[in-house]
């Protein structure tokens, strides 16, 4: 009989799916690493398990403890599943720009959800970074995950996602493209693939309002680059320790409007019901098309599921209010 011991046993081994209509103007073979097949419907399930198991080994997380994390929703979902199976409590701290669906889904799997304002500095006591840390200090027998600086995040992708892509493409992958938030996915996968073949190019998708692209190109952390943006799950106003800029060949920035419009396009033209960062990645692919040739195999990783964005990017009234649809 074939079965998993628990839901965590179904994480990983997600399929590669050929993209067609949206990438017609790209000469290369473009394959989507479709991470919504994970049980929590996102790539973050991978590092959630790895970070918890790492914390258990190091004695940071003890039986009956509480896991506390600042999240845009997907890491919280992955951690919530791990918490259920392993018997921990879960507190998720989100910024108020995250979709209502994400908050409702986290509550549905038993997490306590605390919402913080988006438009404050990271070190402001009201920010979701600061609130997460404070709660961990105040809560007995708790562990603050800190996915941004917890290097078990990128190790999960070095150990699982990277090898899967290499095996699934029979070692023929030439480019890896992915949205960058904590940096764990791009850095872990990028490191593994470049160890296999140093000629593989690794491209990050960034958003306007984030510091990554300029920092990568100049080494300057420019606070003028930081301003509020709508796109969820990618970009940062900090430099997480998980971002290994040495394995990244370049970044391209995608506007909020393009990310939202291409989120809908993926659904309507490819049958890919995906999240907001997938729209950004799809538009980013087109912006990078001159880097690809007909002999290339481009793998783009899509992070999460469209069900988290039904009230936003898939709602035409919301899209019109934002000025994204005529």
Rg from Cα positions in the chain: 19
Longest dimension (CA), the chain: 58
Q: Are 99 and 118 in contact (CB under 8 A)?
A: no
Backbone angles phi, psi at 142, to 5 degrees: -125, 165
Q: If we measure between CA atoms, which residue out of 7, 9, 76 comes closest to residue 42?
A: 76
Which residues are bridge partners to 115 per DSSP?
94
CA–CA gap between residue 166 and residue 164 (Å, rounded): 5
Residues marked active site are found at 44
Q: How far is the C-alpha of 223 from the C-alpha of 86, rounded, in Å?
A: 41
Instruction: Give CA–CA dist 165/133, Å, rounded.
Output: 35
Q: Helix 74-86 crosses helix 44-58 at what angle (to 10 degrees)?
A: 50
Angle value at C-alpha 297, between 15 and 23, nearest 5 degrees: 85
**Under DSSP, is residue 94 helix (H, G, I), strand (E, B) or coil?**
strand
Q: What are 5's strand-pairing partners?
A: none
d(CA 213, CA 50): 28
Question: Residue 323 burial (CB < 10 Å; 0-12/13-18/19+)?
Answer: exposed
């Amino acid at each position: 009989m074939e079965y998993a011991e628990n839901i965590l046993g179904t994480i990983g081994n997600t399929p590669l799916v050929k993209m067609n209509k949206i990438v017609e103007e790209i000469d290369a073979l473009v394959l989507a690493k479709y991470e919504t097949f994970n049980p929590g419907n996102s790539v973050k399930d991978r590092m959630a398990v790895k970070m918890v198991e790492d914390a258990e080994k190091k004695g940071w997380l003890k039986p009956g403890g509480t896991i506390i994390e600042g999240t845009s929703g997907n890491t919280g979902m992955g951690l919530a599943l791990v918490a259920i199976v392993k018997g921990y409590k879960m507190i998720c701290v989100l910024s108020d720009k995250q979709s209502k669906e994400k908050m409702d889904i986290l509550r549905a799997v038993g997490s306590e959800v605390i919402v913080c304002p988006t438009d404050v500095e990271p070190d402001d006591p009201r920010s979701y970074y600061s609130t997460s840390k404070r709660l961990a200090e105040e809560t007995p027998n708790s562990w603050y995950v800190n996915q941004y600086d917890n290097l078990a995040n990128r190790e999960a992708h070095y150990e699982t996602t990277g090898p899967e892509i290499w095996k699934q493409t029979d070692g023929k992958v030439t480019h890896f493209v992915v949205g960058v938030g904590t940096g764990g996915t791009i850095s872990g996968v990028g490191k593994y693939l470049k160890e296999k073949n140093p000629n593989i190019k690794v491209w990050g998708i960034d958003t306007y309002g984030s510091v990554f692209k300029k920092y990568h190109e100049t080494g300057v952390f420019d606070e003028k680059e930081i301003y509020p943006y709508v796109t969820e799950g990618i970009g940062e106003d900090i430099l997480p320790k998980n971002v290994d800029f040495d394995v990244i060949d370049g970044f391209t920035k995608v506007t909020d409007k393009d990310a939202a419009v291409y989120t809908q396009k993926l659904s309507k033209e490819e049958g890919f019901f995906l999240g907001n960062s997938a729209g950004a990645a799809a538009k980013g692919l087109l912006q990078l098309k001159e880097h690809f040739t007909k002999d290339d195999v481009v793998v783009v990783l899509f992070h999460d599921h469209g069900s988290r964005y039904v009230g936003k990017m898939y709602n035409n009234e919301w899209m019109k209010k934002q000025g994204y649809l005529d």
